[in-house]
Structure 1
């Protein structure tokens, strides 16, 4: 490929020697430690062109000096600047991809845009039966909200568009996003989405959580295949995704769902009732305490599902997170009859797949139980992994047989 030279009229962000290579390799984050200087004419939120120390064009990005990620990169082609049309093309490509996968339909729940994986670092777009929820996690996207909303209207004409943010990410970016409705009217009554023949209730007016996790869609079906005739314990069940799949799709004899949120458990019960599911029941108790209670009581199950919340958001706390995963999985294994199925998940992006597997190795060794990994799975197909940004692969789901 011929060397691309910078263009006139766009502020430059000059990289230090030997810092450009990962960015030539199309990783979308340029950290503050990578830069020699950024033109003072570029305000935070403006487009800059990254330039290597030898003067070669690297990429177009958006600068944010308040963030550890000083620039998020979006285009590596000098002839493809970050215009309004560029953002619309990116959104259209992401949405068309979901259409091709058969995920985007009237009653669907799907992720239309998954941040870096769709070339739109800092933006998540979720679709719920005609309503769109944006999660804005970068200054670059906050500054272009009008363009994003206009493009979504043109591309899919949603019934409503609302916006939310994640507090920790906002703090790191130096932005403030208040939950708000940007367009249309968010229904005050619950709406319903259909997933694998099961209907789930969602409350889009209920603040930060939509009451559903789209990333486990295919994993719920995969796990259900192992549950025929089995007594299943679903820990951290939230609104009952795995539980209802186990009961309705998997033919489990009994499913017990446990979660510490009263609201989530009420939602799970309504979901079960709506789908005519009678072989699942739900309890609102602290899941961590209840695991110990079940072990101490000598309870046994034929299958245990462990899908706990994120145990760490930073690399600094990985060791503590791994201890927590070990503790939860050690108890989960203790509850299994020989030949039982363990479905164990980690949504902590800073915990690698290898680290998670080594945690299970420790459980096997300390418990004296053989653990066979039958399937290693990731997030649903509307949460793809961008090969040049491994950080986009965060979810681990292991389906195991425990002797």
Structure 2
């Protein structure tokens, strides 16, 4: 068997990769020996000649090699099958997720040793996103493995267009394998029913990573008027009513389509105290501030503000502006729930931002809870960048 092309790491750059970090950036590479094709298998060595791992090469990406195997074995069909099976076991045997109407993350990319592959399960359907050229080229094998999941009727492969461009994945449309659902898929979360549009919804259709946080935040809402900003299809708001005993909730989102779905969810779950409005969040906060309405709980769960390292500073300014405006409509001794799904904004930076918020507002802030993503979105100890979601529950004087 012919030897594989070799990628040699620069001096004093190899330690993270021995520690199983899966991203080898082009800036850490000294040279490439051989002529690996896009998506092909390579071996990675330290500058001193010590074997580190096997990975998949992509000359189009800043992540030049994604690492998958550190024991020297091949990245063959058996390896992919075992790695997918390990991810499934976590959800089924340890987290005990599943059953009719279940919605959860089945494969969480780097966190499951499958860098570049995200899979969410919604009842009897899977939604797959490839963010790696190499795994996209192995999609028939991977989709075949996923099709072996019990009770699966169909698999939708959706492109993440931003990442596809960065990875050099050719443009493609949604592809269905099996039978598509005849209507939006119904899932159950914390005893509530939600509709998920697999093709048109944001990300894979629903924000599964906030499941535990929505239930936890509800306990602070008893008897309170709740404002849910960037409500999307109303999950935080409806959990506050059903499980928290909120006096009322108002959900605001710029997407009129999402708001219509949120209103449907309120009817579906018989939660008539829920109100939803389509508006720009910052404009809505200014309108509320200028009036007399104030809320006992304000929830801020905005979309990702930082998509690349050079955007972190602007993202922090955006979070500060948003939360400063949120405090202006929060009652004394109210609860601020503020979230960031920007992985590039580290938890420490986000905590520092809360301190700046206290200084600017002249109000004391106590952080009651620091939460993260649900356990079906695990954090890899070797790749702490996978801890992307921050959810801070704060009491504000």
TM-score, shorter chain, exceeding 0.5: yes
1:86 aligns with 2:79: yes
1:391 corresponds, among 373, 385, 389, to 385
2:88 corresponds, among 95, 112, 125, to 95
1:303-382 matches, cutoff 5 A:
303-382=297-376
TM-score calculated relative to the size of structure 2: 0.97
8 A contact 1:258–1:282 mirrored in 2 = yes
TM-score calculated relative to the size of structure 1: 0.95
Corresponding position of 2:232: 238
Equivalent-residue separation in structure 2 for 1:86 and 1:201 (angstroms): 35
What is the Cα deviation at residue 208 of structure 1? 5.5
Equivalent-residue separation in structure 1 for 2:23 and 2:128 (angstroms): 21
Runs of 4+ residues deviating >4 angstroms: 207-210
Corresponding position of 1:77: 71
Equivalent-residue separation in structure 2 for 1:205 and 1:164 (angstroms): 8
8 A contact 1:211–1:239 mirrored in 2 = no
Unaligned stretches of 5+ residues in structure 1:
1-6
1:4-403 matches, cutoff 5 A:
9-78=3-72, 80-99=73-92, 100-156=94-150, 158-206=152-200, 209-403=203-397
What is the Cα deviation at residue 315 of structure 1? 1.3
Q: Matched residue of 1:400: which SS?
A: strand
What do the CA deviations read for 1:82-114 (whole angstroms, capped 9, x no partner)? 111101111111011011202222211100000
What is the Cα deviation at residue 52 of structure 1? 1.6
What do the CA deviations read for 1:347-390 (whole angstroms, capped 9, x no partner)? 11111111111111111112111111000000111111101101
Equivalent-residue separation in structure 1 for 2:174 and 2:2 (angstroms): 39
What do the CA deviations read for 1:209-234 (whole angstroms, capped 9, x no partner)? 54410010000000001111111000
Q: Matched residue of 1:121: which SS?
A: coil
| Count of residue correspondences | 396
Q: Matched residue of 1:96: which SS?
A: helix
Equivalent-residue separation in structure 2 for 1:94 and 1:166 (angstroms): 22
8 A contact 1:179–1:208 mirrored in 2 = no
8 A contact 1:188–1:205 mirrored in 2 = no
What is the Cα deviation at residue 205 of structure 1? 3.3
8 A contact 1:326–1:363 mirrored in 2 = yes
What is the Cα deviation at residue 207 of structure 1? 6.3
* Greater mean alpha carbon deviation, residues 168-177 or residues 326-335: 168-177
What is the Cα deviation at residue 164 of structure 1? 1.2
* Greater mean alpha carbon deviation, residues 333-342 or residues 32-41: 32-41
Equivalent-residue separation in structure 1 for 2:43 and 2:297 (angstroms): 53
Q: 1:136 to 1:84 in 2, by over 3 A?
A: same
Q: Matched residue of 2:64: which SS?
A: strand
What is the Cα deviation at residue 339 of structure 1? 1.2
Equivalent-residue separation in structure 2 for 1:120 and 1:177 (angstroms): 22
* Greater mean alpha carbon deviation, residues 303-312 or residues 35-44: 35-44
What is the Cα deviation at residue 40 of structure 1? 3.2
Q: 1:210 to 1:11 in 2, by over 3 A?
A: closer
